[in-house]
């Protein structure tokens, strides 16, 4: 992975399975919260998959677009971009009503000390969006944070594991799910709750942070010693293809890679690549926030980008000083404060 252009092209290139599924999706696709870390690449992927499928459906992306250049870049790639603050009922009511909605809006970082806005974004807004889009299919981005910590030997929380959110961010994510589920029952809206942890590309994510810690000789605390990751391109494809799997009541789907990854092992692997000895501190706890995505893999197949490939690409990106988002994941956090 040698350039931002190459990364963007890889993220926006659909698989044959994605193109085939997009050919079956009828109507336009509205992506709410398109300006976040995953949204731009998801919207571009959708445009390319629809074009290859011979579909005339539109991809419409909605965001406040607080980051310069994102809106113009989406427009250049064929996305119809709308600037709107969807917490404002007036602006939300003016959005087009379409057949398919991917809900990516939400708030995580900055929750601690500003909990009221997190709850408004994550638990109040979903009801307004569901009301406005009651005639659509809706894929709702959620988080594996709604689960309790589970033992390493468990294989990860499944969709049947009872929620046990730690901290107000995770609690508000469960609130988002419950509100959408309520409206799904009320209006018979087909939905899929997409519980993700955690997507990465070269510019952000757990692997990037571990790699940079190794490169910069910083301490790596392994107390929260295990994690899941999935390549962002695979996660985006699953989100788009999930439009064909929306149900009433809402279907639940865990989305992540197949491995339970030891942070210590990842640090040692990056140490081998960098020729450095990682500075490991702490001792692994017997449990962690882990997802079991067997149901997802049964529906969509295993991710196309392997863990080894992700680590190699991450190493190359760090070595060449590639662009990053500078948005830490706080993967070491166990108290739920973000």
Averaged pLDDT in 10-residue chunks for the chain of 338 residues: 90 97 97 95 98 98 93 97 96 97 85 82 96 98 96 97 94 97 98 96 95 97 96 98 98 97 98 97 96 98 97 96 84 75
- Collapsing DSSP to helix, strand or coil, 76 comes out as helix
Nearest residue to 293 via CA among 334, 237, 249, 252 = 252
pLDDT computed for residue 91 by the predictor: 97
Give the CATH number of domain 4-319: 3.40.50.720
Order of strands, sheet of 59-63, starting from the edge strand that comes earlier in the sequence: 80-83, 59-63, 29-32, 100-103, 137-143, 191-196, 251-255
pLDDT computed for residue 110 by the predictor: 58
Give the Cα separation of 281 and 264 in Å (integer).
10
According to DSSP, the β-strands at 80-83 and 261-262 are unpaired
Beta bridge partners of 125: none
* Cβ–Cβ under 8 Å, residues 49 and 22: yes
pLDDT computed for residue 26 by the predictor: 96
pLDDT computed for residue 107 by the predictor: 84
Residues 253, 233, 275, 213, Cα dihedral to 10°: -60
Would you state the structure tokens that stand for residue 118, as one six-digit string?
Answer: 């997190």
């Amino acid at each position: 992975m040698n350039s931002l252009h190459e990364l963007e092209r890889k993220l926006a290139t659909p698989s044959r399975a994605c193109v085939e599924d997009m050919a079956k999706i009828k109507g336009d696709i509205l992506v709410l919260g398109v300006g976040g870390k995953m949204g731009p690449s998801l919207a571009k992927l959708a445009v390319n998959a629809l074009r290859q499928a011979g579909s005339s459906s539109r991809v419409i992306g909605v965001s406040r677009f607080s980051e310069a250049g994102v809106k113009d870049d989406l427009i250049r790639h064929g996305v119809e971009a709308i600037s709107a603050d969807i917490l404002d009922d007036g602006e939300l009511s003016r959005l087009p009503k379409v057949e398919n909605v991917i809900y990516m809006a939400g708030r995580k970082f900055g929750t601690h000390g500003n909990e009221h806005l997190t709850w408004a974004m994550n638990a109040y807004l979903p009801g307004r969006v569901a009301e406005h889009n009651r005639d659509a299919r809706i894929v709702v981005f959620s988080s594996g944070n709604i689960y309790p910590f589970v033992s390493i030997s468990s294989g990860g929380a499944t969709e049947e594991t009872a929620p046990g959110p730690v901290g107000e961010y995770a609690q508000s994510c469960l609130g988002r799910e419950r509100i959408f589920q309520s409206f799904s029952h009320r209006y018979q809206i087909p939905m899929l709750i997409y519980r993700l942890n955690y997507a990465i590309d070269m510019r952000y994510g757990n692997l990037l942070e571990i790699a940079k810690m190794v490169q910069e000789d910083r301490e790596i605390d392994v107390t929260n010693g295990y994690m899941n990751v999935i390549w962002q391109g695979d996660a985006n494809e699953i989100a788009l293809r999930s439009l064909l799997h929306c149900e009433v009541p809402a279907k639940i789907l865990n989305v992540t890679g197949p491995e339970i990854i030891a942070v210590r092992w990842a640090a040692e692997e990056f140490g081998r690549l960098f020729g450095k000895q990682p500075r490991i501190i702490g001792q692994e706890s017997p449990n962690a926030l882990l997802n079991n995505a067997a149901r997802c893999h049964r529906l969509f197949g295993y991710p196309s980008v392997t863990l080894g490939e992700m680590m190699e690409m991450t190493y190359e990106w760090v070595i060449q000083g590639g662009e990053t988002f500078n948005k830490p994941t706080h993967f070491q956090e166990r108290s739920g404060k973000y």
